[in-house]
Structure 1
């Protein structure tokens, strides 16, 4: 065996950095920016000065001090929202910095009269969110505790998706991936009580399934930057805030339970359509209200039924003589069951005005089981034109096609994901002098995840042998295809456990792949320590100062293991040449029934128990393909952040002015460990690899808020922000290919016919950087109503091209070749090969406008007391280009040009009702491709309608007892993707159905 003689780290450390820059401009963008500014200014000044909208200016707590609390503007307890609660001591994480981002204010009495007016429920949530927005010098939108969970929110992402400029991509019927102002989850960060969090996902983007919505008091989405906001994102920063027990007026004991039913009957015999949600909360104070505790627990079992369709693609050019013909199709029925339970706890201690300590803990256990059954039909891509008979052509598509010689693959799959998430934080604030505070904050979070993805295959025979099928397909109005086969796909006399198409290949030779198992493991660990000093100035527009530092160490390990599954018997490693059985009969014990595929024309398919097959019929062989072996990697990041800022509080031309000016200095020390795999003449060689990189970024920021008219604000922000690339792009691992067939003296074009190729990550990637300008005009009026119009501009640099390639000298790998081969390579200059790896070659702009209108109808007439509406819309344009293609702009993942959300509600005398509709235009969605590898496809526009109705008893023995009914996705909107920018070329069609809930809540 010949090795590749790769010294640890040599390969990647010798990679040359390839970066290119181009300058792009757009007069259209400039015109849009001017229109946004002019329109926003007009809207702010034209708002009516009618008495119904009048309100006195708010008094404020000094920003930047230990008493500044981002949720103090909405100090509402979990039961009711008092109109005039007293501002409470600082929130954690840390109050002298993170909490100063949102300046506290003493909430005002309702403008319609004096006295204590208690508002609860939906209106309380909207009023609380409006106060947070009004009192912050930053551009921020919030969801408050009275609002979270009021729609059928499986996770906090459901609540956030209703905010202005925030959209969610549905996966398995649940909102999971958030985009903020057109930028996907890779460009935002998520904090818990101000602290950066790990994730159970493959990269940095948080999967919000791990966070039950019941656990949070307030969720803030910051859309502009502040020097004290550590670990902020380019798109925005989501900060999840837990309840603070010392802020509550009295003891709280609350329990709730909901039953759930999916609108689609169970599609698999071992699935279910019924689920539940339950939670309990206990909050109390002791020792003369100096010690407080808050405990919450939650349990969820959420089912879903999915009718899935996937097309392989289309042959043809879309003409009458060469119409589009489907290459293949994969209809499935899928039954999911999500189980999640967890708990939170907070201990808060404030023995004196000089010391305040808060400890937080969160635990979440997540387990999702998916059962998928269906059939893969290899059609035009496999049977050839001789076995393809087209009848009629309409609009470039074949009307009806009959395929013969079809050898389909039945699939019975079982996927299970188990994940755990821990998060701990301890914050201490010490008053050193009357005007100087020291704050120290320590935190640790860890997430672990294990996947078990099992595929099993049945067919009429091995490698396209046995009875073949004749299949007639015709296009449906929704872009899918009706598939009518001839064979009975429930007949175990025909179908066997086998490799129906002979696709099995282990990198060196053919294997009998009658199934496949993926078993990846992930661990994400983050420790951080933060300290800051803050103080006040007397009699100056410069109100306060703050300086601090943060150290964090993050280590993410990804370990991928996969196996070929073949029938037990003779042979070794499932290889064909060793005599492995090519098929096995389906045991009767494995048959649990059938599944319906009649929604696409197939009467039924076999329903087998894949776990029985795995445990009793299959044997396994380790997948040692180079591409599989090099996926294991560990990325370690040591991040040192220093920051300083001053806050302003004074007058500008007689107008109240607030703001902050500061900067961060971020030093990153990053290391990636993994392996490099190569294959020569059927021999796979593995070598360890490691590489380090360091870089430093300076990130200035400035924000200003001027009250031009009473309760009419202009907010301006300018900043530079950054976000690190995806972790899978930073890996050192490489899969090296050596094509000995190209070692030829007459190989005159090694660029097209390289001897050496390599694919993998790039440790030298720099963070995405963005220069941002944010502008917002906001006018507030009584009862939580307001109108806001915002414009934003982002100039992005160091944008990562994930498909970049460049030439590289592979001379260090010549030792893998024979002396004769080396001589030919050297003599003909064939050492130069092609590296495919991400690189920072992109740059461009994101430009948009965002509007919000919240109106309690009581402001119009008392006859409409209790009614109200909340409407928002966002329009975004982008122009990002890579250096290797400076003409054509790319589509940003997650960007919908137009998004909107509208809510109409009624709440009075215990009754409440709300209807919400949210819309997003088409966008580039991240979906699972072959072997669950992430890939991008264009998703069709969608509108989701949710509703709720409920009643809370106001008096008598049932006082504080509430009942509610909710419905999600009333429009039964499917998730649809397509290719080539042609909405007719449907690739994915997934129907999730409606979800219905009924529940009760009781507060003691």
Structure 2
């Protein structure tokens, strides 16, 4: 439960972490001579130092950053299964300049420097989920990874596709190990709101053999993650004027001339179970020292079955016998009492399943100063879902609302003498029969040649290459909107339908109403055909509605038809070539090196879909297709200056490009035909005329590596972005009917600027046990705006927080290792002009603290204890003003993981 004590405690923790980071910075600045001496010593003896655990990972990541020609940050697993989080998306939240958004307790979207337009790579190859441009990074388990590289600047030999940058997930190969390896891990995971224990485990086995035909290596890894989860949401819709609800018999509060408040308030307990299975393998053959062949594969499978149980409070829809109060000095609703209130209880059942697999083969051959390499990969991905929804309604004799609980409405629907869980009081209002499937495939081939100069001349290496990618994407989904005609039909018409909602059991402002009647989610998923058949039966009784029903539903089975307007089948072919050179020299006694290059990309798209015939008296569709092509010239230059052995300066210039998602290019339009008491007439469509988004980028940085595992870095970046794709809602009139239409469009000329500060140090100079302490901290500031190409209105980039920071306190001494990590990001724009309301939806400041502790028992076994969301942080969003117009308050699971790691 949220109390007046917890908020000061959180603020104190917040301040303490900032003070700790500031103190460490001060300590660092006070002793530059000591740090430089340590750096010199480490440079001289680095081959003799043996470190393990977190320090080893920190050193490895630091070396990758320091030695790379590009602007890059890395996360390194110091051993198999020891990435400092359970999946890639969660781990990336700790990286400088990375911001993540969490949903149902896990990170599910990643932004690089405020932008979502990134390309995801698996061992340097493009990988994606169905019709999107990148893979869901939460689906990649930690135990399979060697490291994750986040590239913030581009080079000509990199695959194009991300104006934000690229994330390259590197899995292990057998030749990464000196010999036979076996690693395993396991956890028992307790989630406090789900009140459930779940297992996760994984293992990796690898070996290599010397034979007369050369050296062979084989690796196999498996992973399984099972997680029950529970989320609680209290919500309000935007605030409206309700002065007209009052009259002479029930007047406004004294001294109040108008009253504003949300029309809908409610609760949503969410319960589900995620299962992730993954496997990878790698085979390597090295016939001699100059050649190698390999075959490798990766499969990730994700299933998520969950339900949302809505209490849709409509406290204004009563018999008019109401009374209210407002907050002093405002016209904003504080409390409301009403009688005989119309109320909706709704269940949204969900069954989601996705699978992505990639198989690759390739190799290289060295011929003197030349190295020739090639790689062929095939990627397949599907996503299918079922999302049946049923709304039921009842009349509650007495309803009391109190909105004074920090923006979260306290709803009391426990009317005396009325049982809110009794099915006899409910009728069926609406039925939504949602389902669909998406697929994506790609064949990707590249060939490269690299020439290495025999000496350190100005031109030290020249490389060139070609890439061909043939990608297709297809999407089918059912018509949206209510399927009717269940209005006011008793819930008893479907035996087995009835259930009780999940509980609003923790946190919150004393919810008062914690459970209510709701249709059973498992019944809706497992007996969908019975519900469909009942709708067909009811329409047979109403011949005047038969034509409307048959337009979007099979009249015999009642199954919702596939929506032609949401269908698309796209083919995209990409031809890319590049030439690149590594150069270097000496400038005024300062050694420098760099990579300059040019990438030329031609993209050909064939876009197929169906368009609505606006001249038809009923909704009709005609097939439509469009061919697009574009040519992009992408120059890049990355220069590195070794100002001192421990001080590096960088400057990078380049142009990058991001293609619109396939769904955004859909030439079709989909319209809902019927509004219900929970939905509006709406429509959505793509835009086949969207142009690729381009960005001209400048990156500069100064990096001080004062120890083998210590650095202080400062970076500035600037982006000039042309044609950023933004989806907006607006009213459109089609056939004389007004729809809220959602469409994507290219913006005008946009810009983004930012500064990053990063710090890492282990405090060896502290006495005794304190010498095991270390600190990682980073701070990012970003500022930018985008301009609507039609209206000229400027808004913030969606999802961009101006400020964000991470602080991680590390400890490693003897067999004990620990980490306490705090992540914070400022509020950001979630949705501009939400549902064409004139209100922007803003996500409030968010934070999360996670921790881990491990104890090494001998050389093979390590025992682990981890905690996720230790502060039980809330997520909140609001309409424009968080004090006047709050929207959601969400609470996620806190998790405790008890487990082991085994290495032999």
Instruction: Please state if 1:483 is matched with 2:411.
Output: yes
1:612 to 493, 515, 523: 523
SS of structure 2 residue aligned to 1:206: coil
1:373 to 306, 309, 331: 309
Query: Where does residue 556 of structure 1 map in the other structure?
Result: 473
What is the Cα deviation at residue 112 of structure 1? 8.6
Q: How does 1:574-723 map to 2 (within 5 A)?
A: 574-575=484-485, 582-585=489-492, 589-591=496-498, 595-597=502-504, 599-606=510-517, 608-612=519-523, 614-615=527-528, 616=530, 618-619=532-533, 620=535, 624=551, 628-678=563-613, 682-723=617-658
Instruction: Please state if 1:732 is matched with 2:663.
Output: no
What is the Cα deviation at residue 119 of structure 1? 1.5
The 1:131/1:631 distance shift into structure 2, 3 A limit, reads same
C-alpha distance in 1, partners of 2:298/2:164?
Answer: 26
What is the Cα deviation at residue 840 of structure 1? 2.4
What is the Cα deviation at residue 596 of structure 1? 2.9
Moved more, 371-380 or 591-600: 591-600
The question of whether the paired residues in 2 share the 8 Å contact of 1:545 and 1:646 is answered with: yes
C-alpha distance in 2, partners of 1:125/1:551?
Answer: 36
C-alpha distance in 2, partners of 1:771/1:379?
Answer: 52
C-alpha distance in 2, partners of 1:674/1:584?
Answer: 39
Count of aligned pairs: 820
What is the Cα deviation at residue 144 of structure 1? 0.3
The question of whether the paired residues in 1 share the 8 Å contact of 2:695 and 2:721 is answered with: yes
Q: How does 1:275-314 map to 2 (within 5 A)?
A: 275-287=198-210, 290-314=215-239
1:943 to 844, 847, 862: 847
C-alpha distance in 2, partners of 1:780/1:797?
Answer: 36
The question of whether the paired residues in 1 share the 8 Å contact of 2:445 and 2:469 is answered with: yes
Instruction: Please state if 1:472 is matched with 2:400.
Output: yes
SS of structure 2 residue aligned to 1:493: helix
What is the Cα deviation at residue 839 of structure 1? 3.0
C-alpha distance in 2, partners of 1:722/1:795?
Answer: 12
The 1:446/1:258 distance shift into structure 2, 3 A limit, reads same
SS of structure 2 residue aligned to 1:519: strand
What is the Cα deviation at residue 738 of structure 1? 13
Instruction: Please state if 1:841 is matched with 2:747.
Output: yes
The question of whether the paired residues in 2 share the 8 Å contact of 1:489 and 1:495 is answered with: no
2:67 to 108, 111, 135: 135
C-alpha distance in 1, partners of 2:819/2:767?
Answer: 20
C-alpha distance in 2, partners of 1:950/1:379?
Answer: 52
The question of whether the paired residues in 2 share the 8 Å contact of 1:976 and 1:990 is answered with: yes
Query: Where does residue 887 of structure 2 map in the other structure?
Result: 987
Q: How does 1:253-292 map to 2 (within 5 A)?
A: 253-266=182-195, 273-287=196-210, 290-292=215-217
The question of whether the paired residues in 1 share the 8 Å contact of 2:390 and 2:519 is answered with: no
The question of whether the paired residues in 1 share the 8 Å contact of 2:481 and 2:673 is answered with: no
Query: Where does residue 6 of structure 2 map in the other structure?
Result: none
Q: Deviations over 1:232-287 (max 9, x none)?
A: 41111100001121131221101110000111254xxxxxx221110011011012
What is the Cα deviation at residue 355 of structure 1? 1.2
The 1:860/1:851 distance shift into structure 2, 3 A limit, reads farther
2:713 to 788, 801, 820: 788
SS of structure 2 residue aligned to 1:585: helix
SS of structure 2 residue aligned to 1:304: strand
Q: Deviations over 1:127-185 (max 9, x none)?
A: 111010000121110000128865773421011110101111001111010011111x2
The question of whether the paired residues in 2 share the 8 Å contact of 1:343 and 1:364 is answered with: yes
C-alpha distance in 2, partners of 1:368/1:989?
Answer: 23
C-alpha distance in 1, partners of 2:202/2:189?
Answer: 14
Query: Where does residue 12 of structure 1 map in the other structure?
Result: none
The question of whether the paired residues in 1 share the 8 Å contact of 2:729 and 2:740 is answered with: no
Instruction: Please state if 1:493 is matched with 2:424.
Output: yes
Moved more, 289-298 or 727-736: 727-736
C-alpha distance in 2, partners of 1:472/1:790?
Answer: 54
The question of whether the paired residues in 1 share the 8 Å contact of 2:39 and 2:707 is answered with: no
Moved more, 448-457 or 678-687: 678-687
The 1:280/1:474 distance shift into structure 2, 3 A limit, reads same
Query: Where does residue 56 of structure 2 map in the other structure?
Result: 124
What is the Cα deviation at residue 864 of structure 1? 3.7
The 1:628/1:938 distance shift into structure 2, 3 A limit, reads farther
The question of whether the paired residues in 1 share the 8 Å contact of 2:426 and 2:491 is answered with: no
C-alpha distance in 2, partners of 1:715/1:219?
Answer: 21
What is the Cα deviation at residue 721 of structure 1? 0.8
What is the Cα deviation at residue 799 of structure 1? 2.1
Query: Where does residue 355 of structure 1 map in the other structure?
Result: 291
The 1:493/1:592 distance shift into structure 2, 3 A limit, reads closer
Q: Deviations over 1:808-831 (max 9, x none)?
A: 9x9xxxxxx9xxxxxxxxxxxx9x
C-alpha distance in 2, partners of 1:840/1:333?
Answer: 37
C-alpha distance in 2, partners of 1:541/1:222?
Answer: 25
Instruction: Please state if 1:541 is matched with 2:441.
Output: no
The 1:672/1:914 distance shift into structure 2, 3 A limit, reads same
C-alpha distance in 2, partners of 1:807/1:177?
Answer: 31
SS of structure 1 residue aligned to 2:854: strand
The question of whether the paired residues in 1 share the 8 Å contact of 2:452 and 2:461 is answered with: yes
SS of structure 1 residue aligned to 2:708: helix
What is the Cα deviation at residue 638 of structure 1? 0.8
Q: Deviations over 1:519-576 (max 9, x none)?
A: 110101121111111102244111010111111122111111247888xxxxxxx558
The question of whether the paired residues in 1 share the 8 Å contact of 2:100 and 2:111 is answered with: yes
What is the Cα deviation at residue 601 of structure 1? 2.2
Query: Where does residue 214 of structure 1 map in the other structure?
Result: 143
C-alpha distance in 2, partners of 1:987/1:864?
Answer: 46
The question of whether the paired residues in 1 share the 8 Å contact of 2:810 and 2:819 is answered with: yes
Query: Where does residue 146 of structure 1 map in the other structure?
Result: 78
Moved more, 715-724 or 599-608: 599-608
The question of whether the paired residues in 2 share the 8 Å contact of 1:973 and 1:993 is answered with: no
Query: Where does residue 814 of structure 1 map in the other structure?
Result: none
What is the Cα deviation at residue 324 of structure 1? 3.0
Query: Where does residue 118 of structure 2 map in the other structure?
Result: 188
Task: Give the gaps of 5 or more residues in structure 2.
Answer: 1-24, 244-254, 537-548, 553-560, 675-681
Task: Give the gaps of 5 or more residues in structure 1.
Answer: 1-41, 58-108, 267-272, 461-466, 500-512, 567-573, 740-756, 811-816, 818-829
The question of whether the paired residues in 2 share the 8 Å contact of 1:217 and 1:242 is answered with: yes
The question of whether the paired residues in 2 share the 8 Å contact of 1:281 and 1:297 is answered with: yes
Q: Please report the TM-score for the alignment, with normalisation by the length of structure 2.
A: 0.85
C-alpha distance in 2, partners of 1:687/1:925?
Answer: 35
Instruction: Please state if 1:915 is matched with 2:898.
Output: no
C-alpha distance in 2, partners of 1:926/1:283?
Answer: 47
Query: Where does residue 795 of structure 2 map in the other structure?
Result: 890
2:153 to 212, 218, 224: 224
C-alpha distance in 2, partners of 1:842/1:975?
Answer: 32
SS of structure 1 residue aligned to 2:178: coil
Q: How does 1:85-100 map to 2 (within 5 A)?
A: none
Moved more, 945-954 or 858-867: 858-867
Q: Please report the TM-score for the alignment, with normalisation by the length of structure 1.
A: 0.77
The question of whether the paired residues in 2 share the 8 Å contact of 1:145 and 1:218 is answered with: yes
Query: Where does residue 452 of structure 1 map in the other structure?
Result: 386
SS of structure 2 residue aligned to 1:53: helix
C-alpha distance in 1, partners of 2:605/2:103?
Answer: 32
The 1:687/1:658 distance shift into structure 2, 3 A limit, reads same
SS of structure 1 residue aligned to 2:293: strand
